[in-house]
Amino acid sequence: MSRKIFIDASLGRKTPYTPIWLMRQAGRYLSEYMEVRNRAGSFLDLCHSPELSAEVTLQPVDILGVDAAILFSDILVVPNEMGMELEFIKGVGPKFPKPLTSDRDLENLDMSASEKLGYVYKTIEIVRNRLADDKALIGFSGSPWTLATYMIEGQGSKTYARIKKILYSDPAYLHALLEKLTIVITQYLEKQILSGVDAVQIFDSWASALEKETFFEFSWRYMVKISESLKEKYPNIPIILFPKGVGSYLDGIYGNFDVFGVDWGTPIELAKEKLGDRYILQGNLEPTRLYSKEAIKSGVTHIIETMQNRRHIFNLGHGMLPDLDRENAKYLVNLVREMSSRY
């Protein structure tokens, strides 16, 4: 048993209670985060500052008492360091003003990007030094598919028209891009591991943009490829894969990784039935339940009674929202600890 309950749970060891962390736990719902965010200048300035990124990474551990910190950064720093200009526009979100269109654009992508992300590795080193021994630090990356979608669409999309056109009319182009991203992301996560993270999570936020067959061909296989490269070299580093919105596709989930992230649209009992024997499950409280203590209590009860503090890491089924109440988040953390420790 390690001193880090999160790591023990991720590797399938019995723990005294179910560890908990919250996706987007370092975020706008915390006034302490907003203070640092405003001090930093732009959002990208915050990502580029190891000192300030470390500060916001640590805030939720101190404030909420969660069992793991997750590196503060943004998934889009990777395409940015691959040479794509990136803007964060207030009220609109991130934007690549020059999305990928040509073969030339693909060739011009900088494959040494992982070497240019030193500010991320520095953040990890600072957090590592300051984080209590019993708390874990999670590194992360976007998945190849999710990053490719941003790089081709240029920004968030409702219909994914540009990338879907390419997917169906020129799949070789898309596969070439996904291969490149797979290489860069593998190097990026390896460097995060060497800098001191205890585990890594790959976020496939736009998995649900794909139907079953195309999800496995254009997203999942690349996530598994990254995971298997890392597991070969670092078998004791837990790997969490989180493809959001694929509850109908669980029959096809396979591969060498440790933890499957369950979104809130996938009933936890369904995930347990389909995947619970093979993977540790992470999730999956509906985030808006944090609007009400009663809704937290009934949601937590259902999840804890289903998982019974076995092969489970508690989390939300999606990220924290800016208008959620920090006191309710604290209540959640304490409730999970208390209820799960009975098993």
- Binding residues (CB under 8 A) for its own copies: these are 159-161, 164-165, 167-169, 208, 211-214, 245, 247-249, 251, 264-267, 270, 286, 288-289, 291-292, 294-295, 302, 317, 321, 323
Q: Is 28 a catalytic residue?
A: yes
Output the smallest distance, CB 322 to its own copies, in A: 9
Give the integer Cα–Cα distance in Å for 252 and 231. 20
- Decide: helix, strand or coil at residue 134: coil
Output the smallest distance, CB 167 to its own copies, in A: 8
| CB closer to its own copies, 19 vs 317 | 317
Q: Is 104 a catalytic residue?
A: no
Length of the chain: 343
Give the residue carrying structure tokens 């941003």.
Answer: 150
Q: Within the chain, where are the H helices?
A: 5-10, 31-40, 43-48, 50-64, 77-81, 103-107, 118-130, 144-153, 161-169, 171-195, 212-215, 221-233, 268-275, 293-307, 326-340
Selecting among 74, 110, 326, 343, the annotated active-site residue is: 74
Output the smallest distance, CB 125 to its own copies, in A: 35
Output the smallest distance, CB 112 to its own copies, in A: 34
| CB closer to its own copies, 188 vs 279 | 279
| CB closer to its own copies, 129 vs 169 | 169
Q: For residue 312, report the phi and psi dihedrals to the nearest 5 degrees.
A: -145, 135
Contact 71, 120 (CB under 8 A): yes
What is the secondary structure of 187-228 as a DSSP string? HHHHHHHHHT-SEEEEEETTGGGS-HHHHIIIIIHHHHHHHH
Selecting among 28, 130, 162, 310, the annotated active-site residue is: 28
Output the smallest distance, CB 14 to its own copies, in A: 28
Q: Is 343 a catalytic residue?
A: no
Q: Is 150 a catalytic residue?
A: yes
Output the smallest distance, CB 233 to its own copies, in A: 35
Distances (CA, A) of 119 to 44, 88, 135, 176: 12, 19, 22, 28
| CB closer to its own copies, 2 vs 288 | 288
Output the smallest distance, CB 252 to its own copies, in A: 9
| CB closer to its own copies, 96 vs 264 | 264
| CB closer to its own copies, 124 vs 271 | 271
Q: Is 39 a catalytic residue?
A: no
Selecting among 150, 173, 188, 249, the annotated active-site residue is: 150
Selecting among 8, 17, 24, 337, the annotated active-site residue is: 24
Q: Which residues fall within 8 angstroms of residue 128, CB to CB, at 6 or more apart? A: 137, 195, 196
Selecting among 8, 17, 29, 37, the annotated active-site residue is: 37
Q: For residue 280, report the phi and psi dihedrals to the nearest 5 degrees.
A: -75, 140
Furthest CA-CA distance within the chain: 59
Give the residue carrying structure tokens 């006191």.
Answer: 327
Q: Which residues fall within 8 angstroms of residue 266, CB to CB, at 6 or more apart? A: 246, 247, 250, 283, 284, 317
CB atoms within 10 A of CB 127: 25
User: 59-79: string of b/e by CB count within 10 Å (b at 16+)?
Assistant: bbbebbebbbbbbbbbbbbbb
| CB closer to its own copies, 36 vs 303 | 303
* Residues carrying an active site annotation: 24, 28, 37, 74, 150
